[in-house]
């Protein structure tokens, strides 16, 4: 038996008069007492079936019992619709299948939600993900993701990168998150860690002489979930020996240009803009600036050194945004609320409106200060006065908010950029220890190679991130291939020699046996799909995601194990699982 001669999205006027077989799902059924209309759907689209009791009484009998999402097989002649019933919004809207015979292939129980229903509770959608995935939007997102991954693979293969699979059961690999651990039955009391990234392993493929590696790798990070984070991240993971930053950047740029061209028909501009971390922070108050709009931060620290306004005079940094709008009092109060949420103590402003300056602080400011700000009519200057880092945080966030609020962003723009020369280390708040800003295998820039340990706060890393529209797509670095240098970084991170050996002895040994210079990058596939699809919900670009509590409402994972199983693993329970 033939299930289908065509897909449901294919019938057009050119096929009128032919007999067709279609199989698919009932998207909609309209029962007019006599005639029954069924929209039959498969992955390619929808065709309207017409079932006429006079033409085929058996089919009509069956059709009365059909409900949404029943699977049908229909045979009949493709006919042209009468002009008044043509649907110009449907690719198959000029035709319909006049059904000769109809087969009910499988039924559906009552649906927990209709496919065209809006605002369905997300837990319900995840619980019945197979249904949810039938919706147009999710079909599109998942297909787009597959198309993109196909292009990525082709680009990497053409450039001579080899797909090498690395293990999932491994040792802790530091990327700054908590590890997922898996108990070992054969080695009771011992645990594997799921890799936070294949970082060390990909470096070992370079030591092993493979020269160019890539993998679509899943990385496991036991993080508290926020709206934009998942615990299983899929990334394009790349490494090359004898690395050349220009070559790597260009390859990535070509790859993105190809993805955008083939998936969306959009030409993106290459080469991408490059900013150093210092410049990105200075101009945009962010290490992942959205550069679709200007609204750059300006500095007034010098101009306000002797200010009578104490808040300005005493602050490490005074910076401001020049917004092309004269805000009302109410609007300013709302902005101040937001600024406070981001850690500001207040929000000083100057509104240049109708030849006047509206501002509670204007009376403290000298002519010279006002002249230095050079506000124009119809502008508002919004100030942050604090330590440098806090002014970046507040104004960076305010800038993004205003970009949307004052409508400075064009949604169909894609602005890619590289941010380079990141700080190498940051101080951990709680322990006061130095931590690697990227990961501990990242090498310092040339200038810092010999002295990163003397001024860790200032030291710069040969690390880069790729940003699009204010989203970090991923990042990478050049690596340390000298065992002594690696040990020195470990030492600065507070690791004793014994710890270095037990955690990373195998890496240090490998680096001591002829390691080539190496560098690479990892780019998030989930995030890339979100941007490509214009999809704000991270979970909607993943076929089977977990919810924000790390639970899969569909399968119920994570689930309990039996006491026997625990005994085998050498584990004991401290707590009964909830629920």
How many CB atoms are located within 10 Å of the residue 244 CB?
A: 11
Give alpha helix (H) positions in 496-562. 497-511, 525-533
Q: Which is nearer to ligand ASP, 285 or 520 (CB)?
A: 520
Q: Which is nearer to ligand ASP, 214 or 293 (CB)?
A: 214
Tokens at residue 367, please? 């002519």
Closest CA to 296 of 275, 315, 316: 275
| Shortest distance (Å) from residue 464 CB to ligand ASP | 9
Q: Which is nearer to ligand ASP, 49 or 164 (CB)?
A: 164
Give alpha helix (H) positions in 76-135. 122-127, 129-132
> How far is it, in rounded angstroms, from Cα 390 to Cα 318?
10
| Shortest distance (Å) from residue 178 CB to ligand ASP | 15
Q: Which residues of this chain interact with ligand ASP, rule CB under 6 A?
A: 175, 197, 199, 439, 475-477, 520-522
Query: Strands, E, within 271-401: which ranges?
Result: 273-276, 297-299, 317-323, 348-353, 356-358, 379-386
| Shortest distance (Å) from residue 235 CB to ligand ASP | 6
Rounded to 10 degrees, the C-alpha dihedral 560/564/570/571 comes to: 30
Q: Which is nearer to ligand ASP, 45 or 475 (CB)?
A: 475
CB 250 within 8 A of CB 575: no
| Shortest distance (Å) from residue 115 CB to ligand ASP | 37
| Shortest distance (Å) from residue 196 CB to ligand ASP | 7
How distant is the alpha carbon of residue 499 from its chain centre?
Answer: 34
| Shortest distance (Å) from residue 214 CB to ligand ASP | 11
| Shortest distance (Å) from residue 477 CB to ligand ASP | 5
For residue 528, which phi and psi values (nearest 5 degrees)? Answer: -60, -40
Q: Which is nearer to ligand ASP, 48 or 199 (CB)?
A: 199
Q: Which is nearer to ligand ASP, 520 or 545 (CB)?
A: 520
With 0-12 / 13-18 / 19 or more C-beta atoms within 10 angstroms meaning exposed / middle / buried, residue 576 is: exposed
| Shortest distance (Å) from residue 545 CB to ligand ASP | 20
| Shortest distance (Å) from residue 4 CB to ligand ASP | 44
Q: Which is nearer to ligand ASP, 415 or 442 (CB)?
A: 442
Q: Go through 298-308 and write b for each residue having 16 or more CB atoms within 10 A of its CB, e for each that does not.
A: bebeebbeebe
Q: Which is nearer to ligand ASP, 485 or 571 (CB)?
A: 485
> How far is it, in rounded angstroms, from Cα 329 to Cα 96?
60
Q: Which is nearer to ligand ASP, 177 or 264 (CB)?
A: 177
Q: Go through 124-145 and write b for each residue having 16 or more CB atoms within 10 A of its CB, e for each that does not.
A: ebbbbbebbbbbeebeebbebb
> How far is it, in rounded angstroms, from Cα 539 to Cα 228?
9
Q: Which is nearer to ligand ASP, 59 or 204 (CB)?
A: 204
| Shortest distance (Å) from residue 290 CB to ligand ASP | 21
> How far is it, in rounded angstroms, from Cα 287 to Cα 2?
57
| Shortest distance (Å) from residue 526 CB to ligand ASP | 13
| Shortest distance (Å) from residue 540 CB to ligand ASP | 23
Q: Go through 257-284 and write b for each residue having 16 or more CB atoms within 10 A of its CB, e for each that does not.
A: bbbbeebeeeebeeebeebebeebbbbb
| Shortest distance (Å) from residue 217 CB to ligand ASP | 9
Residues in CB range of 556: below 8 A, 6 or more apart = none
| Shortest distance (Å) from residue 490 CB to ligand ASP | 17
Q: Which is nearer to ligand ASP, 49 or 207 (CB)?
A: 207
Say what angle helices 245-259 and 136-158 make with each other, to 10 degrees. 140
Tokens at residue 92, please? 């198959």
Tokens at residue 529, please? 């799909």
Q: Which is nearer to ligand ASP, 175 or 369 (CB)?
A: 175
What Å distances lie between residue 521 and 158, 163, 166, 237, 252, CA to CA?
18, 15, 16, 6, 9
> How far is it, in rounded angstroms, from Cα 30 to Cα 529?
36
CB 522 within 8 A of CB 198: no
CB 143 within 8 A of CB 545: no
Q: Which is nearer to ligand ASP, 129 or 439 (CB)?
A: 439
Q: Which is nearer to ligand ASP, 409 or 515 (CB)?
A: 515
């Amino acid at each position: 038996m033939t299930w289908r001669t065509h897909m449901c999205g294919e019938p057009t006027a050119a096929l009128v008069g032919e007999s067709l077989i279609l199989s698919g799902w009932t998207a909609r059924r309209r029962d007019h007492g006599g005639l029954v209309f069924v929209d039959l759907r498969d992955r390619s689209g929808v065709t309207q079936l017409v079932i006429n009791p006079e033409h085929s009484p058996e089919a009509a009998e069956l059709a009365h019992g059909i409900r949404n999402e029943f699977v049908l097989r229909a045979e009949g002649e493709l006919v042209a619709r009468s002009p008044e019933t043509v649907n110009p919004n449907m690719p198959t809207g000029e035709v319909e299948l006049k059904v000769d015979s109809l087969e009910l292939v499988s039924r559906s129980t009552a649906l927990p939600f209709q496919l065209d229903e809006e605002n369905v509770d997300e837990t319900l959608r995840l619980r019945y993900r197979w249904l949810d995935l039938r919706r147009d939007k999710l079909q599109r997102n998942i297909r787009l993701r597959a198309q993109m991954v196909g292009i990525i693979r082709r680009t990497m293969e053409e450039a001579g990168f080899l797909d090498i699979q690395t293990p999932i059961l491994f040792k802790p690999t530091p990327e700054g998150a908590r590890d997922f651990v898996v108990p070992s039955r054969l080695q009771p009391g011992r645990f594997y860690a799921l890799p936070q990234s294949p970082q060390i392993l990909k470096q070992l493929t370079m030591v092993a002489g493979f020269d160019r590696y890539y993998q679509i790798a899943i990385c496991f990070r036991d993080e508290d979930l926020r709206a934009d984070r998942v615990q299983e991240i899929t990334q394009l993971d790349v490494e090359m020996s004898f690395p050349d930053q220009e070559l790597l950047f260009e390859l990535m740029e070509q790859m993105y240009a190809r993805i955008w061209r083939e998936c969306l028909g959009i030409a993106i501009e290459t080469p991408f803009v490059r900013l150093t971390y210092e410049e990105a922070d200075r101009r945009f108050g962010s290490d992942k600036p959205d550069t679709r709009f200007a609204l750059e931060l300006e500095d007034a620290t010098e101009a306000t050194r002797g200010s009578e306004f104490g808040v300005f005079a005493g602050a490490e940094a005074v910076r401001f945004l020049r917004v092309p709008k004269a805000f009302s009092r109410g609007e300013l109060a709302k902005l101040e609320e937001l600024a406070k949420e981001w850690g500001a103590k207040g929000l000083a402003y100057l509104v240049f409106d109708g030849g006047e300056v509206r501002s509670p602080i204007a009376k403290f400011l000298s002519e010279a200060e006002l002249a230095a700000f050079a506000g124009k009519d119809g502008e508002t200057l919004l100030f942050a006065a604090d330590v440098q880092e806090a002014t970046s945080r507040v104004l960076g966030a305010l800038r993004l908010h205003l970009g949307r609020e004052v409508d400075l962003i064009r949604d169909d723009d894609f602005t890619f950029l590289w941010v380079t020369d990141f700080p190498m280390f940051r101080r951990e708040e709680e322990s006061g220890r130095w931590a690697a800003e990227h990961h501990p295998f990242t090498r310092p820039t040339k200038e810092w190679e010999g002295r990163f340990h003397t001024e860790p706060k200032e030291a710069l890393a040969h690390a880069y991130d790729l940003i699009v529209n204010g989203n970090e797509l991923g990042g990478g670095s050049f690596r340390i291939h000298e065992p002594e240098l690696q040990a020195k970084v470990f030492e600065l991170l507070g690791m004793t020699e014994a710890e270095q050996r037990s955690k990373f002895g195998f890496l240090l040994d490998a680096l001591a046996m002829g390691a080539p210079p190496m560098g690479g990058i990892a780019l998030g596939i989930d995030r890339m799909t979100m941007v490509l699809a214009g999809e704000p919900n991270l979970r909607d670009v993943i076929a089977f995601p977990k919810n924000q509590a790390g639970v899969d409402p569909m399968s119920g994972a994570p689930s309990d194990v039996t006491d026997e199983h625990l005994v085998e693993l050498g584990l004991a329970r401290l707590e009964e699982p909830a629920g």
